A and B are shown apart, each in its own frame.
Chain A
């Protein structure tokens, strides 16, 4: 045996090789940052109002006419920044949920958070009258009080996560118990939505369904700031816990033996992930699968090292939502597709692929 503390050797698999391996992951982070900026520019350029890149550039640096200014700063920019922060938030929330539950299929929908948020929104629109009909030709249905919808969706989704965490605590936070609790809650909230809609008028049902279409176009600067602050603080918190997550990904016993208070780490991890999800879903509607696709793509590229998986998942989430939102605006322009439908179109097949891969593995 060599002395562990004193002798430093330069073997083929030593520090030098490891540093070069880590360097590749750092390069991945840099590439993703460039991709985010690239797609931000593409996204700002895209839209029904015809603005060429030069005009967009001039608007961004403040030399332009009022019309372009309104289109860029009041319409496109909040939407683009919302895509960046909501994408990052949903993806990093999925990343932490998957780690905490040691389940690659864990996501806001698996935990019933998304169903709970939808129930809250339905309650606001149908019972509290937050949805209405506009007589203009473009949008026949609109949410006239988004904050009631948001608050109800938020309270409902937080209550879901509190119920799940409470139930799970009784069973010592076993990942299976949490997933099962999520499935049960999804059914209960699903039934609640059906009952609400059954006794409601056509107009209110239409308003409720409109809300469930994930749409970045409804967001204002105020809401973008709220989402940004929550997502940023959460990412900083998750980054501080990255070594705990690395330990947790090797199993409960290993994590505990490395000094991790696994119950506490899981509790806060899931609570903050739920907070991000409920805030994003409440302001923007249902945007499914970003929390599943982002971390799973990055897991295949950077591995299960949460020092890199957290920032890269966040960046990949931004890229996915920017691409999906841009595509939603230009595919059949001037009609804007709901971005939630596009992310689900991307995510659904990936979910099925992962399920099939899992089944093959078990065989």
Chain B
């Protein structure tokens, strides 16, 4: 499975946000999208999922373009975890079961319930399954949002700043969950991130964005002092510490 993105462009009125973005993601890839605030990372993610429509370009999965797919068809292929989701007054089980929406005709089947239950167990949410989501902590809510996206059984998972507003423990836990899912199921994850050190620890591919374009793409080798200076305008040193590359601002 691969997702191919060709020449995606998007503008708000006359302001160009995305300018001919091209890249390819394969099964098992963890891709971190990096760049400054307002560079178009979230917009790119929303275009990949048709949450907003790109004005030009083409996105295809399994050799079928997104334009040819119905909403339900697309939701079976791509799961999306937005930034700061506002959950309704529902239980964890209901919130996760909602991930089965693209498959539901009139009502949930036994299969839908089993999938929801297993995702809940896999993310260790079973103790809270009948608790109201909107009364849970930020980390737990983020896990519920991930569980719902997983219940869609997608081939590509999109995460918009999944670790923002989380403490260090929850950041690491959420990132590890995403990484484990991607490895085990050989699906792809595209994650927008601000924390370069967390990105280095998590991702094996990187998209560095600047002024609505992809400035650099590739493996860890593109996370260099020069590229960071160019993209973020910050001078840094990159040191190896206990086997991990660490970015330290100078």
Contacts and interface: CB of A to CB of B under 8 A. Distances in A.
A176 interface: no
Given A4-B150, A14-B126, A257 B117 contact: no
Given A1-B181, A253-B51, A259-B72, A13 B118 contact: no
- From DSSP, what is the main secondary structure of chain B's interface residues? helix
A250 B79 contact: no
A254 interface: yes
A185 to B, nearest CB: 27
Contacts of B26: none
Contacts, number: 132
Contacts of B250: none
A246 interface: yes
A258 B88 CA distance: 15
Contacts of B150: 4
Interface in B63-96: 70-75, 78-80, 82, 85-95
B194 interface: no
B93 A305 contact: no
A85 B34 CA distance: 56
A250 B88 contact: yes
B118 A4 contact: yes
Contact of A251 (B82, B90, B125, B129): B82
Contacts of A249: 88, 90
| Residue picked from A8, A253, A257, A303, most chain B C-beta under 10 Å | A257
A247 B46 CA distance: 17
A221 interface: no
Interface string A1-15: 111110111011111
B52 to A, nearest CB: 9
B221 interface: no
Contacts of B99: 258
Given A3-B118, A256-B50, A305 B94 contact: yes
A210 interface: no
A150 B126 CA distance: 54
B250 to A, nearest CB: 38
A333 interface: no
A17 interface: yes
A246 B107 CA distance: 12
A261 B101 CA distance: 13
B102 interface: yes
Contacts of B122: 1-2, 4
A9 B101 contact: no
Nearest to A102: B86
Contacts of A307: 107
A21 interface: yes
Interface in B130-155: 130, 132, 149-150, 152-153
Given A13-B126, A15-B113, A303 B101 contact: no
Contacts of A253: 46, 51, 80, 82, 85
A305 B74 contact: no
Contacts of A18: 91, 93, 113, 117, 129-130
Given A13-B126, A305-B90, A8 B118 contact: yes
Interface of A: 1-5, 7-9, 11-15, 17-18, 21, 240, 243, 246-247, 249-251, 253-254, 256-261, 299, 303-305, 307
Given A5-B153, A17-B130, 20 more contacts: A1-B184, A2-B118, A2-B121, A5-B115, A14-B121, A17-B129, A240-B106, A243-B98, A249-B88, A249-B90, A250-B86, A253-B51, A256-B71, A257-B49, A257-B80, A257-B149, A258-B102, A259-B74, A304-B88, A307-B107
Interface of B: 46, 49-51, 70-75, 78-80, 82, 85-95, 98-99, 101-102, 104, 106-107, 113-115, 117-122, 125-130, 132, 149-150, 152-153, 180-181, 184
5 contacts: A13-B127, A14-B121, A21-B91, A250-B88, A251-B85
